[in-house]
Structure 1
Amino acid sequence: MTKTKKTIELEQQLGELTLDLQRTRADFENYRKRVEAEKVMARESGRSNAILKLLPVIDNIERAIIHMPNDLADNKWALGIMGLSKTLEKSLESMGLTRIEASPGIAFDPSLHDAVQFDDESEGELEVIAEELQPGYYLDGSPIRHAMVKVTRQ
């Protein structure tokens, strides 16, 4: 049984159309994945930007608590503000926000800490943190804001 010229042409067309359909499906699947990835990135960027805008507020609340006069230590309003601060901190932790370690004595890491002061009179080989001036934070394990620190040598 021999195939006619028309049958051969139709089989070729069918093969070409099948390949075109497979390519189109693959292109659409790649497009769908790319759009989904872009949506995730946009959502993460929005969350990151919102948290970055809240960090100065958190800093100010912490400063106010640190500098609260002793005579207000038992004041219900002051205790309420301290409770509010802890609630805000826990809420942000549940969103993936954690503090960067910047305690005195730990090694200075320029990828996590910004040295805004340096003790020129100290001697030693190792640069360590002398004081944390402003906390730094991770968001889902990535630094979102470096800790501002005073550095000394040991």
Structure 2
Amino acid sequence: MSRVLWSILPIAAIALTGCGSGPKLYPLSGKVLFNDSPVAPKDGEIAFVEFTADKGAGNTSAHLPRGTIGPDGTYTVSTNNQPGIEAGAWTVRVVYNKPDEAGLKKSAYAPPLSLIAAKYSDFGASGFKVTAGPDAPKAPDFKVSSK
């Protein structure tokens, strides 16, 4: 009996260490504009904003918070299905795609077609940065275009 208990104890300890409440999250929402009008994704289109820690500014978070862009161009960020984002500096990318109907007729694995310039879907090239936290200003509007 004690051998079974000693073999279960380390497993239980590992499982319990993953049951923390996680980092404090702060609300963050904003709007994405395409040529100065709100992005308005249609059925079947994929539109979201994603954040990665700005390590150069000292943010070491391993999370990738994101927010789905709604039909009015607004998004609300969540982290691991919890509303909000950790405090700190973040680099942002915007993804706005539609299915490649012609490509899908040729292959089930056809990549989607981007409705915005490719630079906006790249963390390093988008030029979008946000600081989140209790005293941080509201997120700026992210302005994208096809160029």
- Fold shared by both chains (TM-score > 0.5): no
Q: Which has the higher strand share?
A: 2
State the structure with bigger RCO (CA 8 A, min sep 6), 1 or 2.
2
- Which protein is bigger by CA-based radius of gyration? 1
